[in-house]
Amino acid sequence: MSDDLPAGVERHTFEGTDRLATRGDPVYGEPTDGDWRAWNPTRSKLGAMLELEMETGLEGGDEETVLYLGAASGTTVSHVADFAGPTYAVEFAARPARDLLETAASRPRLFPLLADARKPATYAHVVESNVDAIVQDVATRGQARVALENRRFLDDDGRLLLAVKARSEDVTRDPEDVFADVRAELEAEYEILEARRLEQYHADHLGIVARPQPR
């Protein structure tokens, strides 16, 4: 397994298995090893991308800023806030947002935002410009459009880390056709650096790493 992981993400042995881990309070019943907690790739698209050795461009550290779209109750974004700097977590549904608030209580770098990722103007006054990474896991139609609309926050040298859920776009179509359409739409604003199926951990999902096109 590659050692090219963000600072603050390490491999530890949990219950006899070598797994990714971050240092922080447990959130979703994951195994722990002292201050370290396992990062479950079957519950995290970004965790799956790291396990599959995709080149995410994440470096970790207090200076790295992240905008996370589709934070839900905090399963993945809690790991991000464990190793990165200011992490803005956008979630639209009120019930998981309440859990997200609890997750953020012990993470001063995690900033929950009850907002719709399809309407970035509603949180533009909070999120700083030029974030280092956008992590997107939004189960909705128009996933490429969400990434395009939130491009405004991303540094010119930043990275988009997008998990495309084919069944959320159109449950009747072949996932490969859905993925092709999403990629084509993204290319209006992004250069796709890597795309890989996450099938080992998540059915009908595509992981994409992209950087903004020069303006």
Instruction: Give the residue ranges of the annotated binding site for S-adenosyl-L-methionine.
Output: 75-76, 91-92, 116-117, 137-140
DSSP-derived 3-state class of residue 33? strand
Q: Can you tell me the distance from the alpha carbon of 155 to that of 197, in angstroms, rounded to the nearest whole number? A: 26
DSSP-derived 3-state class of residue 68? strand
> Would the CA dihedral through 193, 195, 198, 200 be positive or negative?
negative
Task: Please enumerate, by residue number, every residue annotated as part of a binding site.
Answer: 75-76, 91-92, 116-117, 137-140
For 74, the token pair is 């905090």
Q: Can you tell me the distance from the alpha carbon of 56 to that of 46, in angstroms, rounded to the nearest whole number? A: 9
Under a CB-based contact definition with an 8 Å cutoff, are residues 192 and 186 in contact? yes
- For 21, counting Cβ atoms within 10 Å of its Cβ (0-12 exposed, 13-18 middle, 19+ buried), the class is buried
- Give the sheet arrangement for strand 17-23, strand by strand: 9-14, 17-23, 36-38, 32-33
| Amino acid code (one letter) for 92 | F
